[in-house]
Amino acid sequence: MKQKDICVLAKDDASHRTKDRIRQHGVPFSPDKPHRKEMIFTLVEHNPSSWLLQAEDGWLGWLPRDEFVHVATCHKCNEPVIQVCMNERCR
């Protein structure tokens, strides 16, 4: 798998561990907007239940996939938007 930078956001019901790792190690998506909680990581590997993320500070760890959302950016305004699966089974 080719590594790529992604933006993630912890879900409200995520474990303290997941919220802490994202907050402690992620690079803020919008440094000029400190109230935003979206963070940048490098996606190293993934499976259906968890993703292996690497942070700029060297942290590397698996996070449960059901505890965060993968955020994309709008191609017009560059603001974060949550990706939604278009598969009929997921709606």
Domain extent listing, the chain: 4-90
What is the value of pTM for the model shown? 0.74
27-28 vs 50-54, strand pairing mode:
unpaired
The pLDDT assigned to 76 comes to 63
C-alpha 86/C-alpha 46 separation (Å) is 20
The pLDDT assigned to 53 comes to 93
Residue pLDDT tens, the chain, 91 long: 567 788 888 999 999 999 999 999 988 776 666 666 778 888 898 888 999 999 989 999 999 999 998 887 665 666 656 555 555 665 4
Q: 39 exposed, middle or buried (CB, 10 Å; 0-12, 13-18, 19+)?
A: buried
